[in-house]
Amino acid sequence: MRPVIIAANWKMHTTPADAAELATTLAGRTNVPDVERVICPPFVCLAAVRDALAATPAGLGVGVGAQNVHHELSGAFTGEIGAGMLVGLASWVIVGHSERRRDAGETDELISRKLQRAVEVGLRPILCVGEQLAEREAGMAESVVAAQLGGSLAGFAEDPAALGAAGLVVAYEPVWAIGTGRTARGADAAAMAEAIRQAIGGLGRGFDAIATDLPVLYGGSVSAAAAGEFLAEPAIDGALVGGASLKVEEMAGIVARASLTAAGRRAATGRGG
């Protein structure tokens, strides 16, 4: 049974003081069974969020994630953050977000190196993939995403099991759905989630073992109102939430819906409800 995961990507929002308060409130309002919750604040807010969550019983089950990590562990890289520096501050990390591919020129080759650094220090990676609108309209969405996966996971060809051990999560975020208020259709996102598992399974020996149990999240204008469309799909294991993750009522609604999905999965596997 795959887990149900709701991850909040706060992007470039909040100060350390705001972040602590929001994390505490969110933890209290989303404290439902069987949903893995993760908050990914800006780097400078990681310590505040970690401490705020540790200070409230509801926060104990909430993971903390970074939004990026450098592709080298250390060195002369002014302004950058290495994976080892995140240990103790975060246990998750988002890698390859489309905003970084767009604004920081991140390539699949670079993303592969970032993933390797994350896995080396024991961070749980959320790898983001997704097509542009023109690519979807041209019928190329699945091939574009498959190419992103192939490039981003190339660094693990010798040791795919390391990815499984690290608990790799893939977030399918169609670029045209991010911050636009326009979501993908649930059925299309579910088809992509299956295509993602197939593409990873086809990467070679050892990757097939990761593919079946791989959690795939949907991201792109997820709100409390829109979440049900995705969380009703058995192929989709949760959401990576941007704008709505800064709004307590929205997140309470999204996580409550995710809890229904988790309960349904539990019941379906005969583990009670």
* Cα 219 from Cα 239, distance rounded (Å): 6
Asked if 69 and 81 touch (Cβ cutoff 8 Å), the reply is yes
The answer to whether 68 contacts ligand 13P (rule: CB under 6 A) is no
Residue 177 or 262: the one with the smaller Cβ distance to ligand 13P is 177
Which residue in 173, 229, 233, 250 is the catalytic one? 173
Q: Which of 199, 241, 246, 258 binds ligand 13P (CB under 6 A)?
A: 241
Q: Which pair of tokens denotes residue 56? A: 């409230």
How many binding residues for ligand 13P (CB under 6 A)?
A: 14
Alpha carbon distances (Å) from 14 to 1, 105, 190, 234:
35, 24, 32, 34
For 67, the 3-state DSSP assignment is coil
Distance spanning both ends of the chain, measured CA to CA? 14
| Cα–Cα distance for residue pair 6/245, rounded to 1 Å | 10
Stretch 172-231 residues interacting with ligand 13P (CB under 6 A): 173, 178-179, 219-222
**Catalytic residue list contains 173:** yes
Binds ligand 13P by CB under 6 A, chosen from 65, 174, 186, 242: 242
Q: C-alpha distances in angstroms, 33 versus 39, 169, 227, 251, 269?
A: 17, 20, 17, 15, 16
Binding mask 4-43 for ligand 13P (x = CB under 6 A): -----x----------------------------------
Nearer Cβ to ligand 13P, position 97 or 265?
A: 97
Shortest distance, position 268 Cβ to ligand 13P, whole Å: 28
Catalytic residues: 97, 173
Interface ranges with ligand 13P (CB under 6 A): 9, 97, 173, 178-179, 219-222, 240-244
